[in-house]
Amino acid sequence: MKKGKNNIDTGTLLSDFISKNKINKSELGKTINRDGVSILKYTQNRSIQTGILIELCYALKHNFFQDIANQLPDNFSVKTHKKEEIDALKEEIKVLKIQNELLMKLKS
């Protein structure tokens, strides 16, 4: 399979998580109905099928998709209401700071 220049190495993400959390590959394999050798192969490959990755997310209770998303540029669009809510809250903070400064001046 040809790798793109922007590929995010999911094998390394998985391998690092497994090492950091001292997870037994054989046990993990059993959890997702695969053998330990399969888990080893997933950690050695630069990419992984999303279906397998989501099984690993549930088995390990870790969001690898978020880890991948965190490596993408900040200017990429996100289809979620959270970004809009955050932007609205930032704007509200600006307004409240201005109002607070005005109130402090009136008190003086």
pLDDT in tens, 10-54: 999 999 999 999 999 999 999 999 988 999 999 999 999 999 999
List the one residue out of 31, 36, 32, 61 whose CA is nearest residue 49: 32
Rounded Cα–Cα distance for residues 41 and 47 (Å): 10
Q: What is the mean pLDDT of residues 54-62?
A: 97
Please report the pLDDT score of residue 42 as a whole number. Answer: 95
Alpha helix segments (H runs only) across the chain: 10-20, 25-31, 36-44, 50-60, 64-70, 81-107
pLDDT in tens, 69-101: 999 988 888 776 777 888 899 999 999 999 999
List the one residue out of 34, 33, 43, 41 whose CA is nearest residue 12: 43
Contact 13, 68 (CB under 8 A): yes
∠ CA 20-23-24, rounded to 5°:
145
Radius of gyration of the chain (CA): 22
Tokens representing 59 are 């088995």
Rounded Cα–Cα distance for residues 3 and 43 (Å): 16
Residue 3 has pLDDT above 70, yes or no: no
Please report the pLDDT score of residue 79 as a whole number. Answer: 72
